[in-house]
Structure 1
Amino acid sequence: MNFKELPFDSNLMLAGLKVWVECESPTFDPASVNRMMDLAAYDLAALGAVIERIPGRMGFGDSVRARLPHKDMGKPGVLVSGHLDTVHPIGTLEKLPFRIEDGKAWGPGIQDMKGGNYAALEALRQIVKAGLDTPLPVTVLFTPDEEVGTPATRGLIEMEAARNKYVLVPEPATPDGGCVTGRYAIARFDLKTIGRPSHASWALKDGRSAIAEMARRILDIEAMSGEDCTFSVGVFHAGQWVNCVSSSCQAEVLSMAKRQADLDKGVEDMLALNDASGDVVFEVTRGVTRPVWEPDADTLALYEITREIAAEIGFDMPHCSAGGGSDGNFTGAMGIPTIDSIGVRGAGLHTLNEHIIINSLAERAKLGAGLFLRLT
């Protein structure tokens, strides 16, 4: 049987995906992430996969590793690397409920990246049901912390990738429906200002505001952005009482660069901002980093196979290097042939408009099945 003959049905897939989407799984709620891992582990176990539950660490949820039955199980094969955490806090379903309208489906995490993960699983389900054998053994690894830079499971992903010949990352498709064959570098920084407290009305002049200093620093940092390296502040925490001059403020910075040298320079510039000379101390600490992934000949060869399969299905699949960051940064930078963003089409990821194009579920599941059955 040819992979194009497998009976993929987007509406049937959507019914299964709905269960996943309605299991909210924000990164910083490990119990909720673990409930999502339970659902994925069950669906994978139903395929006959050997399931390993890997305990979480650093305050994050667990990971699930599943190895599909194969005569060469344990030998280098195909790794599907995906995350099941989302940026949406518990309760988002009240604002962004699962709903269907005009060929689209909405819900928290449905595009990033539960839809793509589910499509990959459906590809394997139809292959198993048809009694087909993949040339290479397939491993699926679902992790809990990608949305915060993968601080807890980077080593797990890299070690698993090193055991395999190819890595497939079903992150959302690019806006033009394409895939990603390279990613820009990402670095995170933690900022802290330490001021001097005082009563905001009785003794305002005696205080030194950590908030005011952080505000000035944020403007300076974001002004450092250029074509080759950008800086943006996305998190800001400070204050508890309006009648107190703040003594502490924290913020987080995300930096993106197209080349590793540009990121290295950006890191150097950020760390040079540490300053204890004034009335308010300014501290900069480097957080997690995703390396630049530049496509090599092996990744481009994998892309050509992917493009050919897409053409056989009936759609065009361009490719590009992209920002955003994913766990493909790690595997691609290791030199392992990696194809990223082969997941569902949609828009609005990380917002209350996050949705997918429903018919892309069958389209991307069929693409995944083609890859599983063709890669050697």
Structure 2
Amino acid sequence: MAGLLADLARLESPSHVPTAQGPVLDRLADELAAAGLAVRRLAGRTSGGQLLARLPRGERRGRPSQLLLGHCDTVWPLGTLAEMPVAVRDGRLYGPGVYDMKGGLVQGVFALRALRELGLEPACAPVFLINSDEEIGSGDSMSRILRLARRMRRVFVLEPSLGPAGGLKTRRKGSLRFNLKVTGRAAHSGLDPEKGASAVLEMARLILRLYALADPQRGVSINVGVVSGGLRRNVVAPEAQAELDVRVLQREDADRIDRIVRELVAETPGTSLAVEGGMDRPPLEKTPGNRALWEAAQRAAGALGFPLGEGTAGGASDGSFTSRIVPTLDGLGVVGDGAHAVHEHVEIARMPERAALLALLLLEPAG
């Protein structure tokens, strides 16, 4: 398992370079074909496309289906290996994308391989979809993900686990992203300040208003991460921009804040406000179907002899979308640390047990 993961990590696949996705998707296609699946490369419009693997038609006829979902793209630019080489130290495999989330793809391959070699036939035929644009919002692949999800009994998301203990992600914060632009009127700040209308002043007021929406008890966080504006220190600023990130645990809060942000108006005389954006990914909530999958995972972990916890992740995933359609369980990938960080790594010894956990979940009754 570690060998395959090291090979995949050496095939750099940044989201913004679609041509870089080909080699890693080809390698995964070979591995999935060796596990007995029929594999198709699906072309992308703005991404490197997707990989779709399923049982041959004769083996899946008449059976419901279940989806394994993951992505092969990473946040790391081409050339990262020169500064962050793949390496094994103290039982850990280090390298770009090993934790988020090529390790989860490896575990998925080995779970399917184990079922095939042991002659075990899941009640629900496995389908594996790997996209190459998750780190930039899955805009090119989302329609296919949702179309597949509507035909599935359940979805297992192979994103990395939660923390060193390897907990599953049974809740995820949803995210909203907005771009705000205030337009004012330039004037000399010394000679004619009264003829100007400061976009920066209005933006400052709006930022304070936005931060007042934060509610830690409800899991609502607000961050204005980028602010720019003005021309020179002696010119009343005619323009200002801000980028807003909102995280929520509940859909009702997402809808409420979306409405509030869209209804904001400029109050500084002579300024106007334009708002773009909205929901990026919905929250993954504890629906009855999702809880049933979590309980199945607990039973499976107990049978394998290791504890399994759960928790809430601040980041979003494609599972946040599938959960609106079909029962979804997230965080079934590798145990490790350092997503998007230079110390990114996986715990090699934990990979077999995680693959075994996934295999047992795939063997669950259709329900």
Q: Which residue of 2 aligns with 1:46?
A: 34
The offset of 1:142, in angstroms, is 0.8
Alignment of 1:115-154 (within 5 A): 115-154=103-142
Counterpart of 2:344 (choices 344, 354, 359) is 354
Rate the CA distance shift 1:273–1:28 in 2: closer, same or farther, 3 A: farther
* 2:218 is equivalent to residue 226 of structure 1: no
Q: Which residue of 1 aligns with 2:18?
A: 30
Over the matched positions of the two proteins, sequence identity in percent amounts to 36
Q: Which residue of 2 aligns with 1:337?
A: 327
Rate the CA distance shift 1:272–1:45 in 2: closer, same or farther, 3 A: same
The offset of 1:179, in angstroms, is 0.8
Q: Does the 8 Å CA contact 2:258/2:279 hold for their aligned counterparts?
A: no
- C-alpha distance in 1, partners of 2:78/2:233? 28
Moved more, 187-196 or 48-57: 187-196
Count of residue pairs brought into register by the alignment: 362
- C-alpha distance in 1, partners of 2:258/2:149? 27
Q: Which residue of 2 aligns with 1:270?
A: 261
Alignment of 1:109-258 (within 5 A): 109-175=97-163, 176-194=165-183, 218=207, 221-227=210-216, 228=218, 229-234=220-225, 251-258=242-249
Q: Does the 8 Å CA contact 1:292/1:333 hold for their aligned counterparts?
A: no
| Alignment TM-score, normalising by the size of structure 1 | 0.83
Q: Secondary structure at the match of 2:323?
A: helix
- C-alpha distance in 2, partners of 1:326/1:283? 28
Q: Which residue of 2 aligns with 1:289?
A: 280
Q: Which residue of 1 aligns with 2:364?
A: 374
- C-alpha distance in 2, partners of 1:197/1:99? 55
Structure 1 residue ranges, 4+ long, deviating more than 4 angstroms after superposition: 193-200, 203-220, 234-251, 276-281
Q: Which residue of 2 aligns with 1:89?
A: 77
Q: Secondary structure at the match of 1:289?
A: strand
**Structure 1 spans left out of the alignment, 5+ residues:** 1-12
Q: Does the 8 Å CA contact 1:78/1:166 hold for their aligned counterparts?
A: yes
Alignment of 1:62-77 (within 5 A): 62-69=49-56, 71-73=59-61, 75-77=63-65
- C-alpha distance in 2, partners of 1:91/1:209? 43
Counterpart of 1:320 (choices 308, 311, 325) is 311
Q: Secondary structure at the match of 1:317?
A: coil
Amino acid at match of 1:68: L
| Alignment TM-score, normalising by the size of structure 2 | 0.85
- C-alpha distance in 2, partners of 1:232/1:274? 19
- C-alpha distance in 1, partners of 2:316/2:124? 28
Q: Which residue of 1 aligns with 2:293?
A: 302
Moved more, 362-371 or 130-139: 130-139
Rate the CA distance shift 1:310–1:27 in 2: closer, same or farther, 3 A: same
The offset of 1:249, in angstroms, is 6.1
Taking only aligned residues, the RMSD between alpha carbons, in angstroms, comes to: 3.3
Q: Which residue of 2 aligns with 1:61?
A: 48
**Structure 2 spans left out of the alignment, 5+ residues:** none
- C-alpha distance in 2, partners of 1:309/1:362? 14
